[in-house]
Amino acid sequence: MCPLPKPKQPILCYVTDRRSLPLSTSADAHRLLLDSVGTAAAAGVDWIQLREKDYSGKEWTRLARESLLRLKRSGSGTRILVNDRLDVALACGAGGVHLSENGIPVSEACRLREEYFAGHNRKQDFLIGLSCHSLGAALGAARAGADYIYFSPIFFTPSKASYGPPQGVERLAKVCGAVEIPVIAIGGITQQNAFECFDAGASGVAAIRLFQEPAGPLKETVDALRRASLGAA
């Protein structure tokens, strides 16, 4: 698979977290999550990373299939990425897998991807990405064949506190300049600071709250992020 070129417009990625959805309970969280996926796709996000880490294999398969079906019915071109579960992503026809830094090696994921598509005689359109927290990890991911990376945390966010203090936009700029694949900034991204990420060379931004709990209509947030990227060009 040819390397994914850096996009002309920013990649906007919604990262799911059903447990933080407003008014969610154990009984309705899955339904609300699917609604959130549909809303994000309708608003124009480019990618949706399904990141329900506590799901079982059966629950992962159900989530991926139902999300893909909802997007297909709506005619959306949004790409679905499955967190870590390469097997589920391939079997369900998702648009890629997003790997954690301590998960399956990128090179192994690439090998399995090639074998799968060769064996099923299908056109390959499947991205492999990796979460990185250092320049060294980013360089290693690019060498191993990753199509894109996340670099985090850029700004402070409780969900990334275990990875240490924020990296900041200066480190983000160094990573963006060091690799030829797209770098997606994540960690504390807001509508207000996304411009700094684009200005540093990021090919896109990923977030939970920015897309899951927008202050107003999500389409307005997406449009504002597109405008911010033009200002950084």
Strand partners, 150: 131, 184
In the predicted structure, residue 24 carries a pLDDT above the cut 80: no
Q: Is residue 5 domain-resident?
A: no
Q: How many domains does the chain have?
A: 1
Q: Is residue 3 domain-resident?
A: no
Q: Is residue 4 domain-resident?
A: no
Q: Is residue 153 domain-resident?
A: yes
Q: Is residue 92 domain-resident?
A: yes
The model's pLDDT over 108-129, given as tens digits with 9 standing for 90+, comes to 999 999 999 999 877 789 999 9
User: pLDDT at position 136, please?
Assistant: 97
State the CATH number of the domain containing residue 219.
Answer: 3.20.20.70
User: pLDDT at position 44, please?
Assistant: 97
User: pLDDT at position 179, please?
Assistant: 97
Residue 47 is inside which H or E element, if any? strand 47-50
The model's pLDDT over 146-166, given as tens digits with 9 standing for 90+, comes to 999 999 999 988 766 666 789
Domain encompassing residue 69: 11-232
Of 193, 210, 194, the C-alpha closest to 45 is: 210
Q: Is residue 160 domain-resident?
A: yes
- What percent of the chain lies above the pLDDT cut of 70? 96
Q: Is residue 2 domain-resident?
A: no
The model's pLDDT over 181-203, given as tens digits with 9 standing for 90+, comes to 999 999 999 999 999 999 999 99
The residue with greater pLDDT, 16 or 101, is 16
Asked if residue 33 lies in contact with residue 16, where contact means CB atoms within 8 angstroms, the answer is yes
* HEC-encoded secondary structure of 125-190: CCEEEEEECCHHHHHHHHHHCCCEEEECCCCCCHHHHHHCCCCHHHHHHHHHHHCCCCEEEECCCC
User: pLDDT at position 1, please?
Assistant: 58
Give the mean model confidence (pLDDT) for residues 135-147. Answer: 98
Q: Which two tokens stand for residue 130?
A: 């990796």
Torsion sign over Cα 88, 91, 94, 97: positive
User: pLDDT at position 233, please?
Assistant: 57
User: pLDDT at position 76, please?
Assistant: 96
The residue with greater pLDDT, 68 or 157, is 68
Q: Is residue 70 domain-resident?
A: yes
Residue type, 180: E
User: pLDDT at position 148, please?
Assistant: 98
Strand partners, 98: 83, 129
In the predicted structure, residue 36 carries a pLDDT above the cut 90: yes
User: pLDDT at position 208, please?
Assistant: 96
In the predicted structure, residue 25 carries a pLDDT above the cut 90: no
* Residue owning tokens 């329900």: 52
